[in-house]
Each structure stands twice: as C-alpha cells, then as structure tokens.
Amino acid sequence: MPDMLESWPLVQRFMLRACGVVMSNEQHYLLDARLSPVAKRHAFASVRAFVEAACADNPPPGLARSLVDAMTTHETFFFRDPPFWKAFEQLVLPKILIPDRPSPVRIWSAACSTGQEAYSVAMTFAENLPTWMDRLVLTGSDVSEPCTERAREGLFSPLEVGRGLGVERLNRHFDAESGSYRIRRRLRSAITWDVQNLLSPSPYPGRQDVVLCRNVLIYFGERDRAEIIRRLFEAAAPGAFVGVGTTEFMKGRPIAPGWYQRE
C-alpha cells in the first residue's frame, strides 16, 4: 500500500497534464484494480514500476497511452437519460432536419467511450428518419484507442445491451454472436470513429449540427472545462445544438435538460 500511495501523485500529475482529468486523493484505490493487469501486460514487476516508467518525460511507446486508457472512466450505456433522448427527437431534430435541406446532417459524439451514445443516435435515425441515414455524417470519438476500437467492432456483452435497450431494439438492431451481440452493419457503417483528446490542440470537427459531450465535463478542472465548452460551441454551427449530461450546466441558451443551442 505505501508504494501505491507514493505512486498516486505521479498518476494525478500525469493525467492532468496528458488529458486534463482531475483525480482526487480519495481515488488512489483505483491504482491496483486498474493498473495491475496493465503492468503485467507490459511485463513490469509492480504497479509502481509501471507508473514511474509511464510518467517519465519520454516514456517507452505505448506506456503513456495505456495509463490514460486504464485511468479514464468509461461508464456509458445506450439511451442514457431517456428525457434527454426524447428532447433530441422532439425538439432538436425537427429544427435541423428542415425540408429541402441541401447539406448532410453532421453529428459528433465526443468522449463516447465504447460507442453506445453514437449508436443511440444512429438507432434514432434508423427508427424515425430512415430516409436521412444516407445523409447522416456521424462521428464518434474518445481519448481511449481501445474504446474506439471496441466501438468500431460494435460487439457488446449481454450486460451492456441490457443497459438502456429493450428487447424490441435488441432484436431490431443486433445479431447474437458467440454469447454477445453485434450491432448490424448498416449502423456500424454509419459512424466514423476517431481518437480525440479534448484538450489536444488538434482541431475539433467543425460545422456540426449536433455536438454531444455528455457526463464528461465533471472530470476536468474549472479552466480546462471552460476551454472545452468554448471549443464545443465553436464546433457547432450557428443555430446548432450542444448536448451535455442532464446534471451538467453551461452558459448558453438552454432548450431542455442537457440541451443548449448556439446563438
């Protein structure tokens, strides 16, 4: 345990520097559970040895990425917060899917972990707006490369599909495969996946009709949170919409819990 406690400040500083995530002192219990298997995979004798190597100024290839992947929170599920998705269908989409719209519909699901949120968008279109599927430009991203790879594969466990999906949607959009469920090709092919660090200087996708970044802002410090919010609104086209967690608040024009419209 002393070794763990000594390693924790290194992890805290690294996560803040690498991706802006603030980790409290009380979260040190995560070290052993999350990093023991990672340390073994990289052939380190202990978690402390792995942390010291990954947090060095010039870490070996892959170590820093493995540390970020292990320590970021990937809690997500399909159609999280049903009132949010009802507002998406009833308030947001009617304002952007205007008749004779000449341009594609651009939606970005940021920090979406293993992809359930982006697939929820795709299912909404497939169920309610099938004629728009060919004009939907949907991007999903996360800071974790393994998460985006899993999202691209679209293979989910019984526990994962049991969170937010009813039997009707499961039968309509998934095929059983080796004890798991794979989302069907049409929905998988509707989404482009990317690795995106929200604090990276690389540009966000621009001119989006809808930007989703839900239940993520709470993990950032005040200054980084403000910068991310600014850039999220810049990624949205004028008059477009930004969706966050229903318990997250930001400056802007609110239209429903979790939903804001850019002026």
Hey, where are the domains in the chain?
Answer: 2-71, 82-155+184-261
Predicted pLDDT of residue 25: 85
Instruction: Examine the pLDDT at 71 and tell me if it is beyond 70.
Output: yes
Report the topology of domain 82-155+184-261: Rossmann fold (3.40.50)
**Which residue blocks in 27-166 are alpha helix, DSSP H?**
30-41, 47-54, 63-71, 82-87, 93-96, 116-128, 145-153, 158-161
| Class of the domain covering 2-71 | mainly alpha
Lowest mean pLDDT among 57-61, 141-145, 150-154: 57-61
**Residue 142 Cα distances to 22, 95, 146, 213, 220, angstroms:** 17, 27, 9, 10, 15
What are the structure tokens assigned to 215, written together? 């239940």
Predicted pLDDT of residue 232: 95
Average pLDDT, the chain: 91
pLDDT in tens, 92-110: 999 999 888 889 999 999 9
Q: What average pLDDT does range 72-88 have in this prediction?
A: 91
pLDDT in tens, 14-46: 888 888 888 888 888 888 888 899 899 999 988
